Amino acid sequence: MIFTAFFKTLGQTGDPRFRKVLFLGLGLTIALLIAACVGFYLLVQWLVGPEAALPLLGEVTWLDDILSVGSVFLVLLLSVFLMIPVASAFTSMFLDEVAQAVEDKHYPALPPAAKVPFWDAVKDTVNFLGLLIAANILALFLYVMFPPAALFIFWGLNGFLLGREYFTLAAARRVGTAEAKKLRRRHSTTIWAAGTLMAVPLSVPLVNLVIPILGAATFTHIYHALARR
């Protein structure tokens, strides 16, 4: 069932709505990066001012320029590590459209799904991003303690989190959040296995940017397969 759902998703990757969600996520991430660079630059300029006093050197006028440029490079360096989770978080705000595209193609007889309010989607996205980052930071200790198993820990942990998030998203559109959580607990092993399938490509640069879209689509198929049971 999991692989059937995944291959159905791969067959729909050319859908314009899939590309729209991907480009929205990337566009918002790049815009946030530019805003962060400009914000840090202006903040340093304001804190340091045009002149600063240094021991032995006295008044200098070049310190603010050095710190401002350095802050921009720091933000760019951090973006290398943060771009994937941030892009995934932004993309997750629009995954309802991905699920709808899947249902329009594969389940056209279904009645209209309940729309997720925009600010509820933003809140869920922020909560999921925080949980994802916090769990992976804590997992660093396990990576250090068990280096040979680090990759499997990464896949298992993120597979659990991705499966939990994307199945709830797919199911809640049809049966509400409370019933979605019941279904998630009832089929936890299947959902974790499917989430792990989504987590494996997270280790591949660039490919990991499309994981939220593939995950939302795949779990939409999985939800309908489980619901039929």
pLDDT digits (tens, 9 = 90+) for 2-45: 899 989 988 888 889 888 887 887 777 777 777 776 776 677 66
As a whole number of angstroms, the distance between CA 164 and CA 40 comes to 35
CA torsion through residues 14, 15, 21, 23, sign: positive
CA distances from 94 to 16, 100, 124, 167, 200 (A): 14, 11, 12, 15, 22
CA distances from 123 to 51, 84, 142, 172 (A): 42, 19, 29, 15
What length is written for the chain?
229
- With residue 58 as reference, give the H or E element that holds it: strand 58-60
Chain centroid to CA 31: how far?
A: 16
Would you state the pLDDT for residue 47?
65
Would you state the pLDDT for residue 149?
87
pLDDT digits (tens, 9 = 90+) for 124-164: 777 877 787 788 788 888 888 888 888 898 888 888 988 88
The pTM of the whole model exceeds 0.85: no
The amino acid occupying position 19 is R
| 3-state SS class at 53 | strand
CA distances from 176 to 25, 115, 224 (A): 25, 11, 14
Is residue 213 over pLDDT 90?
A: no
9 vs 81, residue with greater confidence = 9
